[in-house]
């Protein structure tokens, strides 16, 4: 089982690149955002709670996120591996993911981080907000707040995975196919 954490700030291109990686390596893509939206659309208790945080551009509490993702993994135990997109976001979630995967005699094999400058992120997210209808992409203030939260609360995972010798940084700027090629090279080398 090959398990990858696809990492980067909001707007780095994780969702786009995860779609290519899942096809290339036959992995199940679990996007925290998609899982949240499904729960929100279905108005589950976890979905309603998550929505209240997302509308403010804040991160959803750990246990809500962990519960949602654990459910998705348990529904896909026959997968050849997973791409986790938007999870974990902190060391509590990273430890929870390791514990979850250990139940299946697996671990996170690599964290691959898409590295993108802040101004590029802001432009990408505001452009996405023009068509997505997502409240968290509609305002520059909210977008910048999300990026700042990423740096203050989430970027610490870089050192978490570096200590485990599982961190790989990839330039997330340029043509989509060029970024995909850089990611594929990292995965093939695992």
- Write out pLDDT tens, residues 62-84: 999 898 999 889 989 899 999 99
pLDDT in tens, 8-62: 998 999 989 999 999 999 999 999 878 888 989 999 988 999 888 878 888 778 9
Instruction: Name the catalytic one among 56, 128, 158, 166.
Output: 128
- Is 89 a known active-site residue? yes
Flag whether 189 is in a domain: no
Flag whether 87 is in a domain: yes
* Alpha carbon distance 115, 171 (integer Å): 5
Flag whether 119 is in a domain: yes
Both tokens of 173, joined, read 């700027």
Bridge partners of 31?
Answer: 85
Instruction: Name the catalytic one among 37, 38, 123, 134.
Output: 134
Number of domains within the chain: 1
Flag whether 158 is in a domain: yes
The CATH number of whichever domain residue 143 belongs to comes to 3.40.50.300
pTM of the model: 0.83
Identify the pLDDT of residue 71.
86
Please measure the distance between the N-terminal and C-terminal CA atoms of the chain and give it in whole angstroms: 12
Instruction: Give the C-alpha distances (Å, rounded to integers) separating 48 from 10, 62, 64, 93.
Output: 21, 15, 11, 20
Flag whether 115 is in a domain: yes
Instruction: Name the catalytic one among 22, 28, 124, 146.
Output: 146
Neighbours of 21 (CB within 10 A): 22
3-state DSSP assignment of residue 8: coil
Flag whether 190 is in a domain: no
Identify the pLDDT of residue 119.
95
Instruction: Name the catalytic one among 14, 22, 28, 124.
Output: 14
CA angle 7, 115, 82 (to 5 degrees): 25
Identify the pLDDT of residue 37.
84
Identify the pLDDT of residue 56.
86
* Alpha carbon distance 104, 10 (integer Å): 29
Identify the pLDDT of residue 55.
84
What's the domain range around 129? 2-184
- Is 128 a known active-site residue? yes
């Amino acid at each position: 089982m090959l398990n990858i954490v696809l990492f980067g700030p909001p707007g780095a291109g994780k969702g786009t690149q995860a779609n290519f990686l899942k096809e290339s390596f036959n992995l199940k893509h679990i996007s925290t955002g998609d899982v949240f939206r499904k729960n929100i659309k279905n108005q589950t208790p976890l979905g309603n709670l998550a929505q209240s945080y997302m509308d403010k551009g804040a991160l959803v509490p750990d246990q809500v996120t962990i519960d949602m993702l654990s459910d998705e993994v348990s529904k896909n135990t026959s997968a050849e591996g997973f791409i986790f997109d938007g999870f974990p976001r902190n060391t509590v979630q990273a430890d929870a993911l390791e514990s979850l995967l250990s139940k299946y005699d697996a671990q996170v094999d690599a964290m691959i981080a898409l590295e993108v400058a802040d101004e590029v992120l802001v432009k990408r997210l505001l452009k996405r907000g023009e068509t997505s209808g997502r409240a968290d992409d509609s305002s520059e203030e909210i977008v910048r707040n999300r990026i700042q939260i990423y740096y203050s609360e989430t970027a610490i995972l870089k050192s978490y995975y570096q200590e485990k010798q599982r961190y790989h940084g990839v330039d997330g700027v340029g043509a989509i196919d060029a970024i995909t090629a850089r990611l594929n090279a990292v995965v093939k080398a695992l």
